[in-house]
A and B are shown apart, each in its own frame.
Chain A
Amino acid sequence: MSAANNHDTAVELKGVTFQRGERSIFNNVDIVIPRGKVTAIMGPSGCGKTTLLRLIAAQLMPARGEVWVAGKNLPSLSRSDLFDMRKQMGVLFQSGALFTDLDVFENVAFPLRVHTKLPEEMIRDIVLMKLQAVGLRGAVELMPDELSGGMKRRVALARAIALDPQILLYDEPFAGQDPIAMGVLVRLIRLLNDALGITSIVVSHDLAETASIADYIYVIGEGQVLGQGTPAQLRESDNPRIRQFMTGTADGPVPFHYPAQAYAEDLLGDSNA
C-alpha cells in the first residue's frame, strides 16, 4: 500500500528524477505534501521550482520516479485520464493566464461551462460567489486588459477555484506585486485554504510573505531537497545553504561569482589564448 493513499497526504513525489537535455534538474527527489495545509516550495531562482510544480500538475513527466496525486500515479495515466484528473487541481499561473478574448465573468465561468451542464442561473451564482471570495464581484464585466496585475491574479484565482479543486498550486504568486496586492494575495491563499479545506502548494522565493502563511516549507536547490520543516525550524537550521537562503546573504555556499578562471590570470594572461 502506497503512502500516497494515506489520508493525510495529498501529493507525494517518490524518487523523482527530471532532466532537460543533459542537464539534470532533479535527482531522486522525495517530497510529501500534507492534505489541507499550505506547503511552500522555496529556493533560489532557476533551481526548478516551477518545474516541480509542472511535475505535480503532470504538464511535465519525470524521467524516473512516481508522482502520486489523490491516490493516482500521474505518469502512468493516459492522456485523457490526465485531463480528467486535472479537474481536481487548480493552478494559479505567474501571469494569471486569463483568456484575453473573454471578460472576467466568462473567464471564471469557463471551467463550469466545459465540465458541467449547470443551468445558466446557477453558473452565474457560482461565478459571483467565487468573485466575491476574491473581492472582485464588481469587476465582473471588465476585460482582462482592463485589470491591474494583482487583479488579474485574483480573477485567475477565482477561476482556479471555480470547480472546487482539492489541490491548488500557486506559481510565484507574489512576484512583481506591489505591497498591497501582495498582502491581499497572502491573505487570500490562507483564507481559501482554511475555508475550502483544500491543499495549497505555493512555489515562491519571496521569503517573508511565504513564511508568514506556510505550515511547512521545502527548500530545494541543486536538484535536491536541501531542507524541510516549519518556518521556525528552518530559521534555526544549521545547514549553511538554508541559512544563506533564509537570511539572503550574497556570498556563501551559493557563490557570488559565477565559476571562472582566476581573475588576475584572466586580466593579465595571454590574450591570444
Chain B
Amino acid sequence: MRKRSPLERVRLLGKAGLDVLAALGRSTLFLLRALFGRGSFDNSLTLLCKQLYSVGVLSLAIVVVSGIFIGMVLALQGYSILATYGSEQAVGQMVALTLLRELGPVVTALLFAGRAGSALAAEIGNMKSTEQLSSLEMIGVDPLKYIVAPRLWAGFISLPLLTLIFNVVGIWGGAMVAVSWLGVYEGSFWGNMQNSVDFSTDVLNGIIKSLVFALVVTWIAVFQGYDCEPTSEGISRATTRTVVYASLAVLGLDFILTALMFGDF
C-alpha cells in the first residue's frame, strides 16, 4: 500500500549504511567491554566450565563424525586421482595437508557456527526477550561479564581444540580408507606424511586460523543474541544471521589468512 518516492529510497539506502556502521561500532564496544571491562565473580571458573561444556563438549559429536567422513572422502578422492599418476603413496600427505591447512579450521568453524553459534545467539536472545538480562542489570550484575564473557572465552578455547580433534579424526579416517581398504602401503602413507608436514607452516598456521575463526564466530553469535529485537521473530532472525554472517566471515577470512600465510609475496 505504502509508496516510496525516489528521494525516500535514497534516504533509506543512506540509513541502511549508517545502521551497519553503528552496529559495527556497537559490537566492537560490546566485545571490548565484555572481555576487558571491570568486575569478576567468585564463580567465574564454574561459569566458564558450564559454557565449555555446552559450547565445546556438545559440539564434539558433530565435529568427530564430520571429521571421519571428510577424511575418508579425501582419501578416496585423492587416491583415485593420485593413482592415475602412479603416486598413490602420497595420499597420506595429501590428506594431512588438506586437513591441517584448510579443511580442518574452516569446516570445524562452519560446523561450530551452525551448532554452537546458533545456540548461543538463540539462548542470549531468549534471555533478552524474557527480561533476564534486564533483571541481571537491576540486580547489579553486568550481563556482559556474567553472561557474555564466559561464552566468548568458551568459544575461543573450544574451537581451536575442536579443530585439532577434527584434524586427528580426519587423518585417522583417511588412513582407514587408504590403508585398510584401498591397500596403500602403511609405511609410505605415514612416512610421506611425516616428511611433508611441517609443524610451524602447517599445524601452527592451522591453529592460528582457527583462533581467528573462534574470535569471529563467537563474537558474531553473542552479539547477534545480545543485540536482537526481543521478540520471537527477532530471535529467529538473530539465529539465522549468526550462521550466515559467521559462515561468510569464516570463508572470507580464510582466503585472506591463506594469502598471508602461504601466498608468496
Instruction: State the interface size on chain A (CB cutoff 8 A).
Output: 25
Q: How large is the interface on B (under 10, 10 to 19, 20 to 34, 35 or more residues)?
A: 10 to 19
Assess whether B130 is in contact with A97, with CB atoms less than 8 Å apart.
yes
Query: A80-B38, A80-B39, A114-B41 in contact; A86/B139 too (CB < 8 A)?
Result: yes
Give the one of B131, B138, B141, B142 with max A CB within 10 A. Answer: B138
Query: A95-B130, A97-B130, A114-B41 in contact; A83/B135 too (CB < 8 A)?
Result: no
Query: In the complex, what residues of B have CB within 8 A of residue A271's CB?
Result: none
- Cα A87 to Cα B41 in complex, Å, equals 16
Assess whether A86 is in contact with B138, with CB atoms less than 8 Å apart.
yes
Chain B residue nearest in CB terms to A89: B138
Q: How far is the CB of B258 from chain A (nearest CB, A)?
A: 40
Asked if A20 lies at the interface with its beta carbon under 8 angstroms from chain B, I say no
Q: Which of B39, B132, B134 contacts A59 (CB 8 A)?
A: B134
Q: How far is the CB of A199 from chain B (nearest CB, A)?
A: 15
Query: In the complex, what residues of A have CB within 8 A of residue B141's CB?
Result: 83, 114
Query: A80-B38, A80-B39 in contact; A111/B134 too (CB < 8 A)?
Result: no
Q: How far is the CB of B178 from chain A (nearest CB, A)?
A: 46
Chain B residue nearest in CB terms to A112: B139
- Cα A87 to Cα B138 in complex, Å, equals 7
C-beta contact mask, A67-106 vs B, less than 8 Å → 1, else 0? 0000000000001100110110111011101111000000
Q: Which of B38, B135, B140 contacts A87 (CB 8 A)?
A: B140
Assess whether B130 is in contact with A86, with CB atoms less than 8 Å apart.
no
Q: Which of A86, A100, A163 contacts B137 (CB 8 A)?
A: A86
- Cα A100 to Cα B122 in complex, Å, equals 14
Assess whether A114 is in contact with B140, with CB atoms less than 8 Å apart.
yes
Q: How far is the CB of B30 from chain A (nearest CB, A)?
A: 13
Residues of chain B in range 127-156 having any CB-CB distance to chain A below 8 Å: 130-132, 134-135, 137-142
Assess whether A83 is in contact with B142, with CB atoms less than 8 Å apart.
yes
Query: In the complex, what residues of A have CB within 8 A of residue B39's CB?
Result: 80, 83
Assess whether A97 is in contact with B132, with CB atoms less than 8 Å apart.
yes
Asked if A57 lies at the interface with its beta carbon under 8 angstroms from chain B, I say yes
Give the one of A89, A97, A98 with max B CB within 10 A. Answer: A97
List B residues at the A interface (Cβ < 8 Å): 38-39, 41, 130-132, 134-135, 137-142
